[in-house]
Amino acid sequence: MVRSFYDNTEALVLDGLESIALLRPDISLDQATKTVWLHDRKSSQTALISGGGAGHEPAHAGYVGDGMLTAAVSGFVFASPSVAQILSAITRVAGPAGVLLIIKNYTGDVFHFRLAAEKARVALGIPVEVLTVGDDVSVGRRKSGKVGRRGLAGTVLVHKILGTCSRDTDAQLSKLLELGNEVVSNLVTAGVSLEHVQIPGRDAIPAAVDDQVELGMGIHNEPGCLLLNPRPPLANIINMMLDQLLDTKDEDRAYVDFADAQHVVLMVNNLGGLSPLEFGGITGKVIQALKSRNIVPTLVLCGTYMTSLNGPGFSITLLKATLEMVGYLEAPTNAVGWGALNVSRLHGKPPTEAVAQINLDNGHAKAVESSGISFDSATFKRVIVRSCQNVIDAEPLITQYDTLVGDGDCGVTLSRGARAALSRVDEISDPTDVVSTINKLAGIMETDLDGTSGAIYSIFFTALAAELRATTSSSMSHEAWVQAANRSLEKLQQATPARQGDRTLMDALEPFIKSLVQGKSLADAVAAAKAGMEATKGMKASLGRAVYVPENVWDQVPDPGAQGVVCILEGLGAAINE
């Protein structure tokens, strides 16, 4: 069974619809028909109704509002509303100007909405027209056959353009239908997802193959056009999607030619399961990829427009637009689903100019007087290479540990710092100046190793550089390294309350340095660090996010930060003994 705060999807749908009515005094909910409607509007306007199965929120109830939909009818999750529900909505909002039904091209929706429209026309004399939106290009002509293109996120652009046109111009039903058909014929969407969505209250769908991605997966878990395993880089995925959207030579998918477009509108849609951080990165990559194809959108819309519950994917929509369409999209609306979205005109600068390229100077790399203390730079390079490679290799294991007892980022964070140090090892290593070398290493830790780990490593290496500068010797001996490391540990302890026994990286670092101070061999010191790390299994955390982790989890894994220190020290030992 899928884990959720709701075990009953029927209650979930009704509660979700009710929340919209609670947020907006000008909107009401008929629970019996699961219809949300706007009752504060001009009676002379043509009413716009949309709907379909639940699970695509904010579509469609979230787009009921001034300048968008008049009403929305919901079925249960991924299930079309009934003819009776739709007919009830039509009779509730119909005025002299009539009703336009805007629906996504799915068999159930098409049957039910068209039958309701026919009943309203014949039995009740209400002018009703149906606009069917099919904007998908991933599943091409051959596979979609007579059914036609599926309706995806581009449907929301139709809501906004026609809704604002109806409000601002009192356009007749026939004019809105004509404009709607023009929008649909110039609309293309392609989607991608990492996984099928899980429906609350139902049995879980087996997980997809690791590292798999599916191009064209539908918003109801329908199969797409291509399974990619292993998953290609994000830039490649985006370019494959843009090929589907833009390639006029693809006879199966060439629906719109953007070569002569006066205006292009870009919509990047979160299918529900992507974090704002990841989704923002994807949006930027899409804009850059379009720029490389000489397409600079007049308008960019990015947000959660049409979901597939918590689907871990996104879709890209392009509209070959007129200036009139752009104006309608930019016009204000109070629809709750649209209000939280980002709608912006690109400012005309190429992306490479729009993004400031700032060279961070953290102070460590500034030219300072040379210490004149030489050291074995060849061995230093071996230490960096072996230690950093150990950390990179251990990233999955550290991430697994930190997912259980932290926030899951420790492995990736340490790996990022290790890769940065590896890439600059030749640049920072100066055999005539050990202080400059360690200072530069501290700078890398500060700028490339995020979070608390970055601060701790940077403090330690900065202190180490300062202690080495204070030495009176012109070259580095084992004893000088040990004493400088010990005093650096003391400086670090002044900056953090963490000590051995608190389940932190100190459980590995402290026994390592103490062993060296006691005159033990490097191999023994590394063994002491590893023993300290192993001792964190079952140890109650005193600091960090691990404090909030249930105690039974602590017994399963060591502290991830301590594991990272051991990886570094084992690399140190191996490199020294080569």
Q: Are 121 and 152 in contact (CB under 8 A)?
A: no
Residue 233: both structure tokens together: 């880089």
Helix (H, G, I), strand (E, B) or coil at 426: helix
Angle, vertex CA 457, rays to CA 471 and CA 501, nearest 5: 105
Those residues with Cβ within 8 angstroms of residue 275's Cβ, 6 or more apart along the chain or in another chain: none
DSSP code of 136? B
In angstroms, the CA 9 to CA 184 distance is 32
The Cα 90–Cα 548 span in angstroms is 52
Q: Which residues contact residue 118 at a Cβ distance below 8 angstroms, ignoring those fewer than 6 apart?
A: none
Distance CA 16, CA 35 (A): 12
Q: Is 220 a catalytic residue?
A: yes
Among the listed residues 112, 83, 85, 118, the one whose alpha carbon sits nearest the alpha carbon of residue 99: 118
Amino acid identity of residue 486, one-letter, is: N
571 is in an annotated binding site: no
Q: What is the DSSP letter of 345?
A: E
The answer to whether 480 is a known ligand-binding residue is no
Q: Tell me: is residue 55 an annotated ligand-binding position.
A: yes
459-465 long-range contacts (CB < 8 A, ≥24 apart) are 459/491, 459/492, 459/495, 460/488, 460/489, 460/491, 460/492, 460/509, 461/488, 462/364, 463/487, 463/488, 463/491, 463/492, 464/438, 464/488, 465/435, 465/438, 465/439
Quick one: 521 exposed, middle or buried, by C-beta within 10 A (0-12, 13-18, 19+)? exposed
Q: Quick one: which of 373, 375, 376, 377 has its CA closest to 472? A: 373
Backbone φ, ψ for residue 130 (5° rounding): -120, 125
What whole-number distance in Å separates Cα of residue 46 and Cα of residue 44?
Answer: 7
Strand partners, 52: 74
Q: Active-site residue among 60, 112, 220, 364?
A: 220
Work out the number of other CB atoms within 10 angstroms of the CB of residue 146: 4
Read off φ and ψ for residue 315, nearest 5 degrees: -130, 155
| Residue 56 labeled ligand binder | yes
Residue with tokens 């356009």: 171
Tell me if the bond preceding 60 is cis, omega within 30° of 0: yes
Q: Is 496 exposed, middle or buried (0-12, 13-18, 19+ CB in 10 A)?
A: middle
Q: At what angle do helices 154-169 and 323-330 cross, to 10 degrees?
A: 90
Q: Tell me the C-alpha distance between 246 and 149, whole Å.
A: 16
Per the annotation, binding residues for substrate are: 53-56, 104, 109
Per the annotation, binding residues are: 53-56, 104, 109
Q: Could you give the residue numbers annotated as active site?
A: 220
